[in-house]
């Protein structure tokens, strides 16, 4: 597969939109589901809804936008699905997918998609035209992993140098880059439909999630047991707090928690996250990063977002 002269690829994103097969509940782990597949008259094929990234978009933003534009459905993002790759006119194309729960809206035929069908996973896989879509559908149907996340564990944004700050460290604020990271969190994380926000005590933690909390209209609750000092004093209390938040609620809500670099890797390791693709290393937790968590040890969703910056391969 040849690449562009500048080394970039065509970046696209889409969603595996699902709903409980019985029309009720939240389609929890192992529950029967139906998946939305669409017909594209331009290509005369059946596929999952997807499209190219626009400049300034993170892939998740593009995935939700494209699903809404092509289907008219309202969705909530869940765990990541497999990324597929193939060539279009000898140019490499990458498509990032997310599982997305349908929460409202109905399909209206449009220029891109003239038909939508809700089908059980096996029937959807039989109908779609391309093998790479079948791989993504098979992943969505896995009974051993939950489809949704329940906690977004955030490390605070950049806050300058501890040594150069003249004052108590808990009052050290975000710097310019940290404030931009907080704004990006407020732009991207609403696609998970969070309805609660909590923070470790330091000001930089609260400032990191304050723009998101203001946007969704909630306060920032104190969670000292997941700060560095509180977790060091009583690790089990911190683990109990995060495990309690990870238990799926009846209303399928998502909680955002801002913590610190001295606590997050230990919390993640205790949950069974032993490094991002590298066994034996502590899980990464860069400043401004997010771990999307769901399930329980042994059936754990743990998607790492190093940052939520716009994708560099997004088209101008």
Domain tally for the chain?
Answer: 2
The reported pLDDT for the residue numbered 299 is 87
pLDDT surpassing 50 at residue 127:
yes
- 107: confidence class by pLDDT, cuts 50, 70, 90: very high
Q: Are residues 210 and 296 both part of a single domain?
A: yes
Residue 98 in tokens? 């997310």
Residue 222 or residue 87, greater confidence: 222
Would 274 be classed as within a structural domain?
A: yes
Residue pLDDT, tens place only, 150-205:
999 999 999 999 888 988 989 999 999 999 999 999 999 999 999 999 999 999 99
The reported pLDDT for the residue numbered 29 is 56
State the Cα–Cα distance between residues 314 and 316, nearest whole angstrom. 7
Would 312 be classed as within a structural domain?
A: no
Q: Are residues 273 and 198 both part of a single domain?
A: yes
Would 222 be classed as within a structural domain?
A: yes
Q: What average pLDDT does range 44-67 have in this prediction? A: 97
Strand 33-40 relative to strand 10-20, pairing:
antiparallel
44 CB burial (10 A radius; 0-12, 13-18, 19+): exposed
The reported pLDDT for the residue numbered 279 is 63
Would 311 be classed as within a structural domain?
A: no
Look at 56-70, 184-198, 213-227, 262-276 and tell me which has the smallest mean pLDDT. 262-276
pLDDT surpassing 60 at residue 258:
yes
Q: Are residues 221 and 269 both part of a single domain?
A: yes
pLDDT surpassing 70 at residue 6:
no
| pTM for the structure as a whole | 0.93
Residue pLDDT, tens place only, 213-254:
999 999 999 999 999 999 999 999 999 999 999 988 777 789
The reported pLDDT for the residue numbered 282 is 85
The reported pLDDT for the residue numbered 30 is 57
Beta strands in the chain (DSSP E): 10-20, 33-40, 45-47, 50-52, 74-80, 84-88, 91-104, 115-119, 151-155, 194-199, 220-222, 254-259, 290-296, 299-305
Q: Are residues 76 and 121 both part of a single domain?
A: yes
The reported pLDDT for the residue numbered 146 is 93
Would 95 be classed as within a structural domain?
A: yes
Q: Are residues 201 and 286 both part of a single domain?
A: yes
Q: How confident is the prediction for the chain on average, in pLDDT?
A: 92
Residue 274 or residue 288, greater confidence: 288
For residue 77, give the CATH number of its domain.
3.90.79.10
- Element spanning 266, H or E: helix 264-271
Beta strands in 139-227 (DSSP E): 151-155, 194-199, 220-222
pLDDT surpassing 50 at residue 4:
no
Of 12, 39, 37, which Cα lies nearest the Cα of 113?
A: 39
Output 209-218 pairs: Cβ under 8 A, ≥24 positions apart.
Answer: 209/154, 209/182, 209/185, 209/256, 209/258, 210/182, 211/182, 211/183, 211/185, 211/186, 212/182, 212/185, 212/186, 212/256, 214/186, 215/186, 215/190, 216/190
The reported pLDDT for the residue numbered 3 is 42
Instruction: Give the domain range for residue 161.
Output: 151-305
State the Cα–Cα distance between residues 165 and 157, nearest whole angstrom. 16
Residues contacting 100, CB < 8 A, separation 6+: 15, 16, 17, 18, 63, 64, 67, 75, 76, 77, 78
Q: Are residues 112 and 163 both part of a single domain?
A: no
Would 314 be classed as within a structural domain?
A: no
The reported pLDDT for the residue numbered 132 is 95
Of 229, 226, 266, which Cα lies nearest the Cα of 244?
A: 226
pLDDT surpassing 50 at residue 12:
yes
Task: Report how far apart, in Å, the C-alpha atoms of 223 and of each of 32, 145, 201, 212, 256 are.
Answer: 36, 28, 7, 17, 11
From 140, 170, 187, give the residue that closes a domain: 140
Residue 215 or residue 88, greater confidence: 215
The reported pLDDT for the residue numbered 278 is 62
Residue 260 in tokens? 């610190």
Q: Are residues 182 and 135 both part of a single domain?
A: no
State the Cα–Cα distance between residues 203 and 213, nearest whole angstrom. 15
Would 2 be classed as within a structural domain?
A: no
**Cβ contact 237:225 at 8 Å:** yes
Q: Are residues 25 and 128 both part of a single domain?
A: yes
Q: What average pLDDT does range 26-40 have in this prediction? A: 81
Q: Are residues 168 and 92 both part of a single domain?
A: no
From 81, 107, 140, give the residue that closes a domain: 140
For residue 246, give the CATH number of its domain.
3.40.50.1240
Residue 10 in tokens? 């065509």
- What is the chain's alpha carbon radius of gyration, rounded to the nearest angstrom? 20
Q: Are residues 25 and 125 both part of a single domain?
A: yes
- 1: confidence class by pLDDT, cuts 50, 70, 90: very low
Name the residue with tokens 């009974």. Answer: 143
From 140, 163, 185, give the residue that closes a domain: 140
Would 146 be classed as within a structural domain?
A: no
Residue pLDDT, tens place only, 277-288:
666 678 999 999
Residues contacting 223, CB < 8 A, separation 6+: 198, 199, 200, 241, 257
Q: What is the three-class DSSP state of 270?
A: helix
pLDDT surpassing 90 at residue 296:
no
Q: Are residues 194 and 287 both part of a single domain?
A: yes
The reported pLDDT for the residue numbered 173 is 97
Q: Are residues 176 and 297 both part of a single domain?
A: yes
Phi, psi of 167 (to 5 degrees): 160, 175
């Amino acid at each position: 597969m040849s690449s562009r002269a500048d080394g970039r690829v065509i970046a696209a994103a889409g969603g595996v939109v699902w709903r409980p097969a019985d029309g009720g509940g939240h389609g929890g782990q192992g529950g029967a589901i139906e998946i939305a597949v669409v017909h594209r008259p331009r290509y005369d094929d059946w596929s999952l809804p997807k499209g190219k990234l626009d400049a300034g978009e993170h892939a998740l933003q593009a995935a939700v936008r494209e699903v809404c534009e092509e289907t008219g459905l309202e969705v909530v993002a869940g765990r990541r699905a497999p990324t597929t790759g193939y060539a279009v006119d000898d140019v490499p194309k990458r498509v990032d997918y997310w599982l997305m729960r349908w929460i409202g809206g109905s399909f209206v035929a449009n220029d891109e998609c003239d038909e939508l069908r809700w089908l059980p996973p096996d029937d959807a896989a039989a109908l779609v035209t391309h093998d790479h879509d079948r791989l993504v559908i098979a992943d969505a149907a896995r009974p051993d992993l939950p489809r949704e996340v329940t906690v977004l564990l955030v490390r605070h944004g950049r806050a300058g140098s501890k040594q150069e700050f003249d004052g108590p460290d808990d009052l050290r604020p975000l710097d310019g880059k940290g404030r931009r990271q907080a704004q990006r969190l407020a732009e991207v994380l609403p696609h998970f439909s969070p309805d609660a926000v909590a923070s470790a005590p330091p000001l930089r933690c609260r400032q990191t999630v304050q723009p998101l909390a203001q946007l969704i209209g909630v306060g920032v609750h104190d969670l000292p047991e997941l700060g560095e000092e509180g977790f060091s004093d009583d690790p089990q209390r911190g683990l109990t707090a995060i495990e309690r938040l990870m238990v799926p609620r009846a209303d399928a809500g998502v909680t955002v928690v801002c913590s610190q670099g001295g606590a997050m890797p230990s919390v993640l390791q205790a949950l069974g996250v032993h490094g991002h693709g590298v066994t034996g290393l502590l899980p990464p937790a860069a400043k401004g990063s997010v771990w999307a968590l769901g399930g329980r040890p042994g059936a754990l969703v743990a998607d790492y977002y190093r940052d939520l910056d716009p994708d560099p391969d997004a088209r101008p």
